[in-house]
Amino acid sequence: MLRLQWLSSSLLPPLLNPELSPETSHLCPNRRLCTLNSSRPLLTLTATRKPSPKCQYSWSTQQQQPPPSEPGSQAHSFSPQTRAGAAGALPPRFFVGHSIYKGKAVLTVEPRPPEFTPLDSGAFKLSREGFVLLQFAPAAGVRQYDWSRKQVFSLSVTELGSLIALGLRDSCEFFHDPYKGKSEEGKVRKILKVEPLPDGSGHFFNLSVQNKLINMDESIYIPITKAEYTVLVEAFKFILPHLMGWHMISNTMTRAEDSGRVNNANPRYGGDFEWSR
């Protein structure tokens, strides 16, 4: 359906191509401006159309480098840019993370979203859980850090659970082989140790990386106080359901409950049979 509306040319900015200009496309993505005469009013044709369905996405964090997908998979990590792509308007990006600076090293913690695979039904299935990326960089001077020597370690959902449950006097250790199951297996070894400080005031984070491919052996450690560790634990607790993709069902919970009430009215429906026995 087309709606005709007369607008004064004095009230409008200079005409721009709405397909090429982000300044106009985000304001009126469906509008087409046609100039009848430079001295006459402008005729605006607005095509009203049904709103397109929203695309689900992980959260409002736009990651810089998304984790690679499994070979042969069609997994997608959904972001605000994906959600707004159909409308032609890009929302602002959000880069989040938390850093702990110490005299000998810096530790940066960043979440990475899960990945979903589209199904033929139009729904999405979780294909890869998210993780938390730890980045260690040694000090190169006073308040200076050598990021060219940084080492990374990805914490899985289960490993995050171990850190969340870690007591003040407890310790844990994680071992990773990035090339496990490949021809380079065993050539790169990463060990992350989290041990209590001698005075009980926090924990040591020690990352050791042995890379035989480039003949490199690096060890970076950083002390984390009790207060700093508490901040990390609370952040891990908050992000954990998002890494599992469980936050996506909150948007459809109400519709699912409504559908369930309708289906329960049907005697042939047995979805809640286990709970109604």
Which pLDDT score is estimated for 93? 77
pLDDT under 50 in the chain at which residues? Answer: 1-87, 269-273, 275-277
Q: Give the DSSP per-residue string, 190-235.
A: EEEEEEE-TTSSEEEEEEEEEETTTTEEEEEEEEEEHHHHHHHHHH
Count, residues in the chain: 277
Residue 58 and residue 62: Cα distance in Å, rounded? 10
Query: How do the residues of the chain divide into helix, strand and coil, expressed in percent and rounded to 5?
Result: 20, 30, 45
- What is the model's pLDDT at position 249? 81
Domain locations in the chain as residue ranges: 98-252
CA dist 119 and 18 (Å) reads: 34
Between the CA of residue 120 and those of 38, 117, 123, 129, 195, what are the distances in Å? 51, 10, 7, 21, 48
Radius of gyration of the chain from Cα atoms? 26
Q: Do the Cβ atoms of 199 and 190 come closer than 8 Å?
A: no
Nearest Cα to 17, choosing from 81, 92, 88? Answer: 88
Which of 192, 138, 132, 173 is CA-nearest to residue 156?
132
pTM flag (> 0.75): no
pLDDT in the model for residue 263: 53
Domain 98-252 has CATH 3.10.300.10: no
Q: Which of 179, 169, 164, 172 is nearest to 236 (CA)?
A: 164
